Structure 1
Amino acid sequence: MTAPSPECDLVFDKVHIALQGRTLLALDVRIAPGEVLTVMGPSGSGKSTLLAFAAGFLSPAFASAGRVLLDGHDITALPAERRGIGLLFQDPLLFPHLSVAGNLRFGLPRATPDKAARVEAALAAIGLAGFGERDPATLSGGQQSRVALMRLLLSTPSAVLLDEPFSKLDTALRHEMRELVFSRLREAGLPSLLVTHDHQDAAAAGGRIITLE
């Protein structure tokens, strides 16, 4: 697969997913560079299933058709690690055996020059300068979420999937993290898909909203 350009689009081309003969969702949409498309719906409507299909780990129990295109390249049959898609979950999922800096270094491509300087600059950019040697367990929930976001960005994905990333934060932190996440995604020109139950998440994303029944 040819490497996608720095700014590319994410396309769900006539995607259809069913379970035991029952249609869960049908989607045909293009997400532009820097755009956040929000998918909403009740539990069981297929939101997480759509993320799994896009990311490459859909359970064989589901029947799927259609394609996922990234910068015009069909990535539907590629394994998850070769799709160029980053994921941000409800939990930060930082590696407990690595320091904060170690978690960020993990996100950097192997051939990145001067990783230490890149990590220090990344920490400063999220207001955590000097936190590199800290154990992730000593960080607050908001600080852990910022590290998870920066680790994702340092991995240079070509698109991003967001699975209710603010749902476990308190109200003040949700507002702060929404501002940080969506501004960073726009700056990076990353097409992004957000699934959420929260209408305030959707409003903050500022893009189109698709509601699954």
Structure 2
Amino acid sequence: MNQLVLEEISIAAPDAPSSLISDLSLTVAPGEIVTIMGRSGIGKSTLLSFIGGHLGRGFSASGTVRIGGRDITDTPAEKRKIGILFQDDLLFPHLSVGDNLAFGLSANVKGRKERRRCVEQALKSAGLDGFADRDPATLSGGQRARVALMRTLLARPDALLLDEPFSTLDNGLREDIRQFVFAHGKDQRLPVLMVTHDEADAAAAGGRRLLL
């Protein structure tokens, strides 16, 4: 099983007099959800960007990121096997729901029949059986969030990063989607690192909290 390990991470913003994050070390076990909280601008999302390999130009960083003992600090983002969910679902509007999911499939899944089977199984797991040919524009906010998560999981990530993924959902949907995401992360034994401003998100995650 893979664990996500951060070793002495320090990150500085462009032209900043001091570091946003200094000497942060953290281990997230498989199936564990760790929540990162703190005021706006403190570096929460920047930390996720560094872990995922998307740190913005001008930022400087040091330290080591490991997954399952594998040092991925200098690995290109597309080869890190890290799934990320953002505030926006980022579904492709020109693709059907099924094609959106197929886009996330691991390259190891070969053949049209097998890829279709994986997509249909993912839709069934999301409670969206029969939605493969639907236009994403016809989905509700909750349905779009479910599709976004399943697309991420179909890439078979070794870790999952959550960057305020529930903040745009209304209160009625938020609890359901939270539990849906957390349950799938735990079921797949993924180390999950979540950034949020919402105490309810942290309480629902039920794990450790890190205040930056």
Superposition TM-score, scaled by structure 2 size: 0.94
Distance in 1 of aligned mates of 2:108 and 2:54: 27
User: Tell me, what secondary structure is at the counterpart of 2:103?
Assistant: helix
Could you list the runs of 5+ residues in structure 1 that have no partner in the other structure? 1-6
Distance in 2 of aligned mates of 1:120 and 1:203: 32
- Equivalent of 1:10 in 4, 9, 21: 4
Which deviates more from structure 2 when the two are superposed, residues 130-139 or residues 13-22?
13-22
Instruction: Tell me which residue corresponds to 2:142.
Output: 142
User: Tell me, what secondary structure is at the counterpart of 2:162?
Assistant: strand
- Equivalent of 1:68 in 65, 68, 72: 65
- How many residue pairs match? The answer is 206
Superposed CA offset, 1:83-132 (max 9, x none): 11010011110011110000111111123141111211211111111111
Deviation at 1:18, TM superposition (A): 1.8
Which deviates more from structure 2 when the two are superposed, residues 12-21 or residues 176-185?
12-21
Report matched runs for 1:1-213 at 5 Å.
7-19=1-13, 20-26=16-22, 27-113=24-110, 114-212=114-212
Letter in 2 for 1:25: I
Letter in 2 for 1:146: R
Distance in 2 of aligned mates of 1:191 and 1:110: 22
Kindly report the root-mean-square deviation, in angstroms, between the aligned alpha carbons of the 2 structures: 1.0
Distance in 2 of aligned mates of 1:55 and 1:21: 25
User: Tell me, what secondary structure is at the counterpart of 2:88?
Assistant: coil
* Percent identity between the two aligned chains: 54
Distance in 1 of aligned mates of 2:132 and 2:181: 21
Distance in 2 of aligned mates of 1:125 and 1:78: 31
Instruction: Tell me which residue corresponds to 1:4.
Output: none
Distance in 2 of aligned mates of 1:129 and 1:171: 25
Change (3 A) 1:66 1:28: same
Which deviates more from structure 2 when the two are superposed, residues 174-183 or residues 109-118?
109-118
Deviation at 1:155, TM superposition (A): 0.7
Distance in 2 of aligned mates of 1:163 and 1:111: 27
Superposition TM-score, scaled by structure 1 size: 0.94
Which deviates more from structure 2 when the two are superposed, residues 53-62 or residues 74-83?
53-62
User: Tell me, what secondary structure is at the counterpart of 1:23?
Assistant: coil
Deviation at 1:82, TM superposition (A): 0.8
